[in-house]
């Protein structure tokens, strides 16, 4: 685990409001949800943001998606509209990698569409970028 001053490291250490936990990740509700279902999946390994991922983190990234989708399906049902993604630095509110999992409809409406396109990368784009790294 990482930095003792990191908010997500503190949540992990104190097991604060966790919905799911295993040896590698935790899942909890976003405290400022953009939709009725808005979760955060956070690796226990402290990684600052998507720019600090390397090809060796690809398995962790895929694991984050797998476990998140399992949790979503079990708790909220099969749905092809789940959106998984990451903020683009420097638009990270917390300097610890975290994957947003959102099930529309959005609470904040069209504002989210603008934000998503400007400061958000989908899971698929981040995974492809890592796979393409030399």
Q: Which of 80, 70, 83 is nearest to 19 (CA)?
A: 70
- Whether 100 is catalytic is yes
Q: Residue ranges of the alpha helices (H) in the chain? A: 7-14, 58-76, 110-119, 123-132
Q: Which of 38, 98, 100, 112 is catalytic?
A: 100
Residue 52 DSSP SS3: helix
In angstroms, the CA 37 to CA 28 distance is: 11
In angstroms, the CA 101 to CA 25 distance is: 14
The HSE-up count of residue 133 (CA atoms within 13 Å, CB side) is 14
The residues annotated with a catalytic role in the active site are 100
């Amino acid at each position: 685990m990482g930095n003792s001053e990191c908010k997500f490291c503190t949540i992990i250490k104190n097991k604060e409001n966790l919905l799911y936990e295993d040896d590698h990740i935790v899942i909890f509700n976003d405290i400022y949800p953009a939709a009725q279902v808005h979760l955060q999946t956070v690796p226990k390994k402290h990684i600052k943001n998507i720019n600090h991922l390397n090809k060796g983190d690809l398995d962790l990234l895929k694991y984050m998606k797998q476990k998140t989708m399992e949790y979503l399906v079990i708790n909220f049902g099969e749905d092809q509209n789940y959106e998984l993604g990451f903020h683009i630095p420097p638009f990270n509110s917390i300097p610890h990698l975290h994957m947003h999992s959102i099930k529309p409809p959005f609470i904040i409406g069209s504002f989210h569409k603008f934000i998503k396109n400007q400061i958000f990368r989908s899971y698929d784009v981040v995974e492809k970028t890592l796979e393409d790294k030399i």
